[in-house]
Amino acid sequence: MDDSARVTDPPDTADANAAVETDNVAVADREALLAAVKAERDQLAAENTQLHDRLLRRTAEFENFRRRVERERIELIEFAVMETIRQLLPALDDFERALKVECADKEYARGMELIYQRLSESLKKMGLEAIAAQGQRFDPHLHHAVETVRTGEAEDQTVLEEHQRGYNFKGRLLRPAMVKVAVKP
């Protein structure tokens, strides 16, 4: 037989199998790649959640820190003002004693009274409050007993006289009142 008459054989089955295997490998590679991309996505999502959580915590910590610093700053300012007012109290006491003394010059006495009122009002605006003592029941948290008097005329533990006025500053005791207290005979 002649070569020209030869019928063309069907394509080689080995080549077909190789093509199918290549397609299977390509599909397997795509699936592996897809699985790797999904795993990386899940890992990045977990990292993102962690970082977001850390950010929220740090933001909360910073906000707490900011509030604490602001509160401490306000307390420091109040403490400084309180100490300044404490240093001014002896001058206020001197004015009160000076106003109790009779003076021949009425204009001078009136000027002293105006200065005292202005100083007193300024300190009140800053938060200074006088402690009422005379006639009140003795309170060791507000009063300092410098003298006791045995008497039946007043109720026991009643403040009879105020030697030095006491003051609160914005609700805190700045200086206790020095008082004379009645005790039962």
Is pLDDT at 11 greater than 70 in this prediction? Answer: no
For range 105-109, the mean pLDDT: 89
Q: Show me where the domains of the chain are located.
A: 128-185
What pLDDT band is residue 15 in, cutting at 50, 70 and 90?
low
Q: Which tens digits make up the pLDDT trace of 136-165?
A: 899 889 999 998 988 888 888 889 989 999
Strand ranges of the sheet holding 143-150, from the earlier edge strand across to the other edge: 143-150, 177-183, 159-164
**Residues 164, 93 contacting (CB under 8 angstroms):** yes
| Radius of gyration, alpha carbons of the chain | 46
| Of 117, 112, 172, the residue nearest 142 (C-alpha) | 172
Question: CA 33 to CA 154: how far, in whole Å?
Answer: 98
The structure's pTM equals 0.63
Question: CA 32 to CA 89: how far, in whole Å?
Answer: 84
Domain 128-185: top CATH class: mainly beta
What does the CA dihedral 90, 97, 114, 125 come to, rounded to 10 degrees?
40
Question: CA 38 to CA 32: how far, in whole Å?
Answer: 10
